[in-house]
Amino acid sequence: MLSGLLVNELSRIEGITVPKYVPISASLPSEFQEAADLLQVDALVAGTFSVAQAGPNSSRIMTVNVDIVSGKTGKLIEGLVIPTAAGDNLIEQSALAHELATAIGRELTKSEEREKINNPEAFTCLIKGRTLSDPGTTAAMETALKCFKHAAKVDFNYAQAHAGIAVTSISLAARTDDARASELITLSQESALRALSLSPGNREALLARAMLDYQVLADFDSADKVLRDLARNSPNHWQVHHQAGWLKIIRFEDSQGMQFMRRATGLHPASRFLKTELARAEWFRGNADRAIQSAIGLIENPSQPTTEDFFPRGLLIDIYEQSSNFVEAAKLDPELDWSPVASGAGYFAAREKRIAEVPYGPFGPTLNTAILQVRRGDLAEREPPDRLLARLIAAQLPMLPLVLCKHPAMISMTLLEQAVETYSVLRFS
Q: What is the pLDDT of residues 166-192, one digit of tens each?
A: 999 999 999 999 999 999 999 999 999
Tens of pLDDT, residues 5-59:
777 777 766 777 788 887 788 888 898 888 888 888 888 888 777 776 666 666 6
For the ranges 89-93, 253-257, 384-388, the lowest mean pLDDT is seen at 89-93
* Helices assigned H by DSSP within 13-94: 29-39, 90-93
Q: How confident is the model at residue 113 (pLDDT cuts 50, 70, 90)?
A: low
In 3D space, the residue among 214, 78, 216, 91 whose CA is nearest the CA of residue 151 turns out to be 91
Residues 6+ apart with CB under 8 A from 26: 32, 34, 35, 44, 46
pTM: 0.88
Q: Quick count: other Cβ atoms within 10 Å of Cβ 331? A: 17
**What is the set of domains in the chain, with CATH numbers?**
1-111 (no CATH), 116-217 (1.25.40.10)
Sequence length of the chain is 429
Phi and psi torsions of 47, nearest 5°: 170, 175
Pick the closest to residue 151 from 132, 123, 131, 171 (CA basis): 123
State yes or no: pLDDT of 96 exceeds 70: no
Q: What's the one-letter identity of residue 157? A: N
Place 284 in a pLDDT band, splitting at 50, 70 and 90.
very high
